[in-house]
Amino acid sequence: MLYCSHIKISDKVKWVYDSAERKSAYASFSPGQPITGGRLSFKNANCVLNNEEVSKDFSVTFGKGVKYPFKTSSVFGRSAMSDGAISPEGTRAVSKGAFLGKFPINTGEGSLTSNFLYTHQFCDANRSYLDVKEGTLFAKGVYKIVRTFLNEATAQSVYRHMVIETLDEETYLFDKKVLLCYRMNWNAPLDSFPQDVPSDLPDIVFQMGSGLYGVRDDSGKFDAERYQKVMRFCKMTEIKMAQGAKQTGGKLLKDKVSEAIAYYRGVEAHKDLFSPNQFPFAHNLEELFDFMGNSNA
């Protein structure tokens, strides 16, 4: 097993002595013990295998026997992190890296956002489920001038302001080949969405949290059709059973609920957002399994 060690040798020795004397071996994580630099360490396996006993196939299949099983061959994967926990540029970078490196990436409970779909290229075939904004010849000319004399990022920003009139312009991706902006049109009919996950996307794991963000209707209830649309771009669903340390639930103050967050999560902008501590369909195992079975149908 490969791991990164950030613990001082003296702390390791203390842990051994405390454990031997049946004292508490737990320590809290805080800035009181700053990370000054990690080092790479190798920990030997408890039961060592010979070369011929080690399989070269690292693939794992989830959902054997279902219509669309998910098979991953990567030993790496990015765990749940909502778009917004890091910058949009960060989410796009990780999404592109996951696509190139062929490893899965988890959306976190903040829903499937445009930034996770960064590698999904625009073409006329997928126009039916996209909301497309294309600028005039004048806007395209301004873009080219700004790009020539300044840089690509500034040119895209200017073009967006000229083409998209809504406050959630950051939810649109930009295709610099054909000079248009696009995002998912979740109001498009289900039949217009792709039947199989597009090949230009990474292996995306959609995390469904207690707030049902991205798969809820206007009243906050689970929207089965919206969920089906989302899963046309994802390989697997992960259910977040509870809010963990946030025992009273998760809270997002209204000042942080922007138009972009509202579009992604299916909520109203500039209103406090509350995620219950418990997943709404997990009051008992029977209810949870019924929900999973019906969602997978």
pLDDT number for residue 129 = 96
**CA angle (130 as vertex; 201, 190 as ends), nearest 5:** 85
pLDDT number for residue 45 = 74
Q: Where are the domains of the chain?
A: 62-120+198-289, 124-184
DSSP H or E segment with residue 174: strand 173-175
Handedness of CA 285, 286, 289, 290 (dihedral sign): negative
CA atoms lying within 13 Å on the CB side of residue 148: 6
pLDDT number for residue 4 = 40
DSSP H or E segment with residue 67: none
Handedness of CA 167, 168, 170, 175 (dihedral sign): negative
Handedness of CA 144, 147, 153, 155 (dihedral sign): negative
pLDDT number for residue 296 = 80
Q: What is the pTM of this model?
A: 0.81
> How far is the C-alpha of 61 from the C-alpha of 54, rounded, in Å?
18
DSSP H or E segment with residue 240: none
pLDDT number for residue 32 = 60
Low-confidence spans in the chain with pLDDT less than 50: 1-7
